[in-house]
Amino acid sequence: MSRIGKAPIELPQGVEVKVEGGLVRVTGPKGELEQQIRPETGVSVEDGQVVVTRVGDSKRHRAYHGLTRALLANMVEGVTRGFSKGLEIVGVGYRAEKRGDALVLNVGYSHEVTYPEPEGITISTPAPTQITVEGIDKQKVGQVAAELRSVRPPEPYKGKGIRYKDEQVRRKAGKTGA
């Protein structure tokens, strides 16, 4: 049995889970998320807990069992606390600012890069060299953060670029002069 899949998900106060056919809808104080589940797994709500079961014992069924449980646990956490990802900008003159519902990046190109804020995601700039991406959908928060990082990934010689808050950039020595 999948170690992750067999663990029940505790439902905090104010979170409601509805299972309708192959669709699971989680509603909480921060919003509502829905997820299509595979036919290999079953989801039931029993006295304040969400329990994920599986049809068979093949390798594929075991994999979907753990995956479904992890996705549902992330949905429950998202509608209660939400998710956040921090980015920092390193480089002389590199900065970010929020203009309306778009993020404008000056990261060494001859032009400004404008990134529109997707639906369900909040992008903020607490400082000109810091970006915070927040939302209730873990996958969407991570995707937006990855797209922002890809505008100017950190380079290995000087470390300039956009990186995650906790990211360690491996530096290279570069050329040695004679």
83-164 under CATH 3.30.70.260, yes or no? no
What is the per-residue pLDDT for 175?
86
Ordered by start, the domain boundaries in the chain are 9-80, 83-164
Q: Which residue has the tokens 């530096």?
A: 171
| Percent of the chain whose pLDDT exceeds 70 | 98
Pick 9-80's CATH classification: 3.30.360.10, 3.40.50.620, 3.20.20.120, 3.90.930.12.
3.90.930.12
pLDDT band at residue 49 under the 50/70/90 scheme: very high
pTM of the model: 0.90
What number of helices (H) and strands (E) belong to the chain?
2, 13
What is the rounded average pLDDT for all residues in the chain? Answer: 93
pLDDT of residue 5: 86
The CA distance from 138 to 20, in Å, is 22
Q: What pLDDT is stored for residue 102 in this prediction? A: 95
List the strands of the sheet with 31-36, edge to edge: 16-20, 23-28, 31-36
Q: Environment class of residue 84 by beta-carbon count within 10 Å: exposed (0-12), middle (13-18) or buried (19+)?
A: middle
Residue 26 tokens read as 């989680």
Question: pLDDT of 128-158, one tens digit each?
Answer: 999 999 999 999 999 999 999 999 999 999 9
Residue 97 has pLDDT above 70, yes or no: yes
pLDDT tens-digit readout, 108-120: 999 999 999 999 9
**Residue position matching structure tokens 């753990």:** 66
Q: Which SS3 state, helix, strand or coil, does residue 38 take?
A: coil
Q: Fold match between 9-80 and 83-164?
A: yes
